[in-house]
Amino acid sequence: MSRVLRLARHIIGHFGDESFQAITCIGTDYVIYIELDYETGQLHVLSVTAVDRGPDSLPAHVTVVVRVDDVNDNAPVIAVNSLTPAVVEDPAARDGTSVATVDEGSPPATFVAHVSVSDADGTDKNGRFRCAIDDGRNFRLIAMYQQTTTATSTTLSASDLSGSGSVAEYQLITGNVVFDREQLDTHHVVVTCRDFGDSPLRSSVDVRVVVGDLNDNSPVFPVDSYSAEVAENGDVGAEVIQVEATDADSERNGAVSYRLDGDATVRAALIIDSRTGVIRTRAPLDHETTSGLEFSVVAEDGGRPSRSATVRVSVSITDLDDERPRFLEPFYAFQIPENQPAGTEVGHVKAVDRDALPFDWFAYAISDDTVPFAVDADSGRLTTRRSLDRESVQSHQFFVVAVSESAETLSSAAVTVGVGDLNDNRPRFAASNDTLTVSSFTPVDYVVARLAADDPDSPANARLLYSVESGNERHLFNVDMSTGELSIASDALSKVYFDEFLLVVTVQEVGDEEVREGTLIVVVCVVSIIRGRSCNTTFIYLIFSCRKLVVNADAPIVISVDTTHDYDKTHLLYSRFTAIVNIFFIFLFIMIIIICIIIIIIIISSTNNGLQFAVSRFRNRESIKM
């Protein structure tokens, strides 16, 4: 309040200015105190009327001009405006704080905010002010416009920047620095303005400069590579490992997503959560198919364009005992010569177990203990347990099994061992000697007997050659070299009536270098037999059983076999007795035929007599009728 007017006693005052109250004062002096504001009005004009209390009072008028002197009662007013308002997470931070934004990486002298300053005091020193900032390293305050041009410069340092008049415009720009949000994301700069009054007034504004993020940082993994182990045959979706990358950028530029970078095997086996980086199994894993997976994980941020980082991941698939041994071949065939000593190697069988150590161990065994073979449990080496004889068993069949350590899984393979033949047997006849009785009328080249020999060896070692070693000095007989057929070699046999020949027949095998042979003694008795001329028939009688001797049944001979070793004259007597018996039977047969013929003649004669009698009677009847 200021005292502006003193009124005399008994004077009535009227104030015509709105800044003053219109009052009526009677009596003594009055002092009127009115609050005046230079900034509202610098000059006030008052109309004062004074009247006394007498009758017919005449008023007196006076005009009062009041000039308001300015005092420094207003501090500078600062307004900060930025082109891009920043989002302040805490609303309380807005109180008393102006917010501006500048992108990181912006060059020096980049615009930050517009600062407008005004002072309501007069244009004298009370209305003049000076503005400065407290961070002259990172920011600069540039004067753009002033109400008066009394300023000495349009570009002043933070400590000397001043302006006259009531309004000034400034730019807040960055200093000779480049901001990096990852180092410091917010800067505070205080703009302070102070007037030049006798009692200077000041005001300040805290400008919060938020450094805007650019996608200038790639995601970073904390390690150069990751490694993990996972057991095979696990549940689908089991967690294998989690990778994690960080990005120093903010918001979208710092949002990291993950993806797998691998071949088809990796993509079929694993899947990654793009948000968390957790790698899980997509399908059951098999150590025997793939013992490990090598791939990369790519971390990408959400910037445009995006930035990425890659890390190597190694996943080892641990083994379980889930595979049974398997033979490389389902069937094995070996060959071994006969007569080899026990322990002779036959061959090897091979099985594999796809499991890794220590689950790949297994043992070989033979399922049949009766076979003459053994197998090494570790190597699969087959050996004989005794000497083999091809003539007894030509081949052996059995199964070899591979049994794992757990004895829960096994596999088998069939094995055939052929016993190779050696020329270890001599050819032999069924009997050591034979006796033949041959007619002297047997024609040349007629086969009278087949001298069959046998060799138990294989055909390669059993090619037999027959020959007469002795007893055929007269060359009456011949033995076929290949078949062993005994035949008549000369018609000189017809001149032999009763004789005996002792033939020594040998058989040799044509096999390996060693030649083996067998011997057969054949006694041939030649007799003369009377042939029946009327029916031209020859009788053959087998007196004893023929042992391993094939006889031609069409030959006109009598064959007898004797296995004794006494070849004296009794054989000849026996042969002659046999011939007499044969003659007797031939005579008896002829007599029976003659008797049959006589009976037939008698029957025919009787039939003819009866027929003649019947004809004579018929003729007699015919003559009577006539």
Walk along the chain (626 residues) in steps of 10 and give the mean pLDDT of each run: 43 49 53 68 78 76 79 86 61 65 88 89 80 91 69 38 65 90 89 88 91 88 94 90 91 91 92 94 89 93 90 91 86 91 93 82 89 93 91 90 76 91 72 72 85 70 77 84 84 78 79 54 56 32 30 33 37 58 83 90 77 62 60
CB 220 within 8 A of CB 245: yes
599-604: long-range contacts, CB 8 A cutoff, minimum separation 24:
none
Q: Phi and psi of 97, rounded to 5°?
A: -130, 135
Which residue do the tokens 């302006």 mark? 163
Q: Decide if 261 contacts 254 (C-beta within 8 A).
A: no
Q: Counting Cβ atoms within 10 Å, is residue 256 exposed (0-12), middle (13-18) or buried (19+)?
A: buried
Specify whether the CB–CB gap between 80 and 207 falls below 8 A: yes
Share of the chain residues as helix, strand and coil, in percent rounded to the nearest 5: 10, 40, 50
Nearest one of 48, 49, 45 to 67, comparing CA atoms? 45
Alpha carbon of 163 to those of 76, 125, 153: distances in Å? 11, 10, 9
Q: What separation, in Å, do the N-terminal and C-terminal C-alpha atoms of the chain show? A: 214
Output the six-digit token pair for 340: 């080899």
Contact at 8 Å (CB) between 440 and 496? yes
Determine contact, residues 81/116, Cβ cutoff 8 Å: yes
Delimit the domains of the chain by residue range. 2-67, 77-212, 225-318, 326-420, 428-582
Whole-number Å distance between alpha carbons of 174 and 179: 9
- Residue identified by tokens 């009055």 is 30
DSSP assignment string, 97-130: EEEEEEETTPPTT-EEEEEEEE--S-SSTTT-EE
Structure confidence at residue 159 (pLDDT): 37
Structure tokens at 11: 């004077």
Q: Which CATH class is domain 77-212?
A: mainly beta
Smallest CA-to-CA distance from 295 within 275, 267, 333 is with: 267
What is the reported pLDDT for 410?
Answer: 79
Q: Does a cis peptide bond (omega within 30 degrees of 0) precede residue 305?
A: yes
Q: Which of 275, 286, 298 is nearest to 236 (CA)?
A: 286
Distance CA 203, CA 272 (A): 58
Fold of 326-420: Immunoglobulin-like (2.60.40)
Residue 41 near residue 70, CB atoms below 8 Å: no
CATH superfamily of this structure's domain 428-582: Cadherins (2.60.40.60)
Q: Are the CB atoms for 527 and 497 separated by under 8 Å?
A: yes
Please report, for residues 3, 4, 48, 603, the alpha-carbon distance to residue 35 in angstroms, rounded to integers and kept in the order given.
9, 10, 19, 197
Enumerate residues 6+ apart whose C-beta is below 8 A from 108.
174, 175, 176, 177, 178
Collapsing DSSP to helix, strand or coil, 572 comes out as helix
Distance (Å, whole) CA 77 – CA 118: 5
Q: Give the pLDDT confidence score for residue 553 in this predicted structure.
A: 30
Longest dimension (CA), the chain: 236
Residue 485 CB neighbours (<10 A) = 19
In this structure, are residues 336 and 250 in contact, taking their beta carbons and an 8 Å threshold?
A: no
SS3 356: coil
Domain 225-318: homologous superfamily in CATH: Cadherins (2.60.40.60)
Cα 424 to Cα 426: distance, rounded to the nearest angstrom? 7
The pLDDT of residue 51 is 77
Check for a shared fold between 77-212 and 326-420: yes
Could you give the count of Cα atoms lying within 13 Å of 610 in the half-sphere of its Cβ?
A: 6
Instruction: Give this prediction's pTM.
Output: 0.50
Residue 453 burial (CB count, 10 A): 24
